[in-house]
Structure 1
């Protein structure tokens, strides 16, 4: 079934965004005195990952509708993980810095 494998080709992109967001979260939590990440970096990473992931989720829905198949629950769960990590990262940064900028 080639129609179902088309949707699974989007999963590595979701995985990449989840890894990037987790790495930035760990850097913010475990950093010492070095300023590696600032508020602008967090905002750009968050907005980019959210925008691209939302577009991919929309495209998966569009492909599922056109091909007559069901949606991909794994990709949707990965999108939810991206959204949660994208919300947690600015909150952790604001908590650690007491201000966003």
Structure 2
């Protein structure tokens, strides 16, 4: 029915799943940069953490929204894995912000 078979897997639209995985990997990378003291530099401040986390969550939110539109238009089912990846990205973003400010509060005391 479609030009490429990778658009769907068992009637579920999975084309955007690699984008979710990429955003999750970037969120995990930010997490490890916050945790490991060797990578903790002067470029890593509260504004940078909040900005990067907000951009990552915003991009994953837009991916979820647009995949819903695409699924509705072509008549496929939604991808629950993509939704769970969106939740994981959101939770990791909250954890990144909380850990940064807890670590920042300990270092100034």
Shared fold, TM over 0.5: yes
Q: 1:72: which partner in 2?
A: 79
Q: 1:28: which partner in 2?
A: 34
Task: Identify the range of structure 1 (32-41 vs 86-95) with the bigger mean alpha-carbon deviation.
Answer: 32-41
Q: How does the TM-score come out when normalised to structure 2? A: 0.79
Q: Hey, which bits of structure 1, 4+ residues long, moved more than 4 A?
A: none
Give the CA RMSD over aligned residues.
Answer: 2.3
Residue 33 (structure 1) shift = 8.2
1:3-62 Cα offsets, whole Å, 9 max, x none, are 871642212211111111111111111214842521121111111111111011011111
Runs of at least 5 residues in structure 2 that lack an aligned partner in the other structure: none
1:57 and 1:10 mapped to 2: Cα distance?
9
Q: 1:60: which partner in 2?
A: 67
1:98 aligned counterpart, secondary structure? helix
Runs of at least 5 residues in structure 1 that lack an aligned partner in the other structure: none
Which structure is larger by alpha-carbon Rg, 1 or 2? Answer: 2
Equivalent residue pairs, number: 99
- By percentage of residues, which structure has more helix? 1
1:65/1:96 Cα in 2 relative to 1: closer, same or farther (>3 Å)?
A: same
